[in-house]
């Protein structure tokens, strides 16, 4: 039962990371559409991270969690923090559209507000995102799950053959 619970938690984290990628792409697309350039996305996302992580920048968090410079911070975050970033992005995306925001300042301000609101919900529950330990590299997790999945049918076939021989 513990193995099943662990596997479900890993699958949930992987799904959360994929969902975060989708909300980040949507936010990036909205920013590009509204501002006409892509450099703003990195600045806006960084300000959102700073708000979510209690004043710690993306670079601070990467250093704290020993994340390689070439890799996204989100690939090493625990599930709760991945979901928090995703929720902040979704709120930002919704409000940019609803309020027809069209300047880097207004979009940045909205993303900071969204991230602070999500942070408040976490801290009210006793969760400090910046204090949580890094989790397994999402790429390693993905490879491990794929490898185990490939082995699974072989195991099932062996079990079925074994059961048939006992009849």
The pTM score is 0.86
108 in helix, strand or coil?
Answer: helix
Q: What is the C-alpha separation between 85 and 49, in angstroms, rounded?
A: 8
* pLDDT bracket for residue 167 (50, 70, 90): very low
Instruction: Report how far residue 78's alpha carbon sits from residue 135's, in angstroms, rounded to the nearest whole number.
Output: 5
25-61 pLDDT tens trace: 999 999 999 998 878 998 999 999 999 999 999 999 9
Q: Do residues 49 and 58 make contact, with C-beta atoms less than 8 angstroms apart? A: yes
Work out the pLDDT band at 153, boundaries 50, 70, 90: low
57-89 pLDDT, tens per residue?
A: 999 999 999 999 999 999 999 999 999 999 999
Local confidence band at 156 (pLDDT 50, 70, 90 cut-offs):
low
């Amino acid at each position: 039962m513990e193995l099943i619970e662990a596997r479900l938690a890993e699958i949930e984290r992987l799904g959360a990371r994929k969902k975060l990628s989708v909300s980040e792409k949507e936010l990036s697309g909205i920013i590009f559409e509204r501002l006409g350039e892509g450099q703003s996305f990195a600045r806006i996302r960084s300000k959102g991270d700073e708000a979510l992580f209690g004043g710690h920048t993306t670079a601070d968090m990467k250093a704290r969690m020993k994340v390689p410079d070439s890799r996204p911070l989100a690939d090493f975050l625990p599930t709760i923090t991945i979901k928090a970033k995703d929720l902040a992005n979704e709120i930002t995306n919704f409000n940019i559209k609803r309020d027809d925001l069209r300047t880097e300042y207004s979009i940045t301000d909205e993303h900071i507000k969204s991230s602070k609101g999500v942070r408040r919900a976490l801290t009210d529950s006793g969760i400090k995102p910046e204090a949580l330990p890094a989790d397994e590299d999402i790429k390693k997790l993905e490879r491990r799950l794929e490898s185990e999945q490939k082995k699974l049918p072989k195991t099932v076939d062996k079990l079925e053959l074994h059961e048939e021989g006992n009849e």
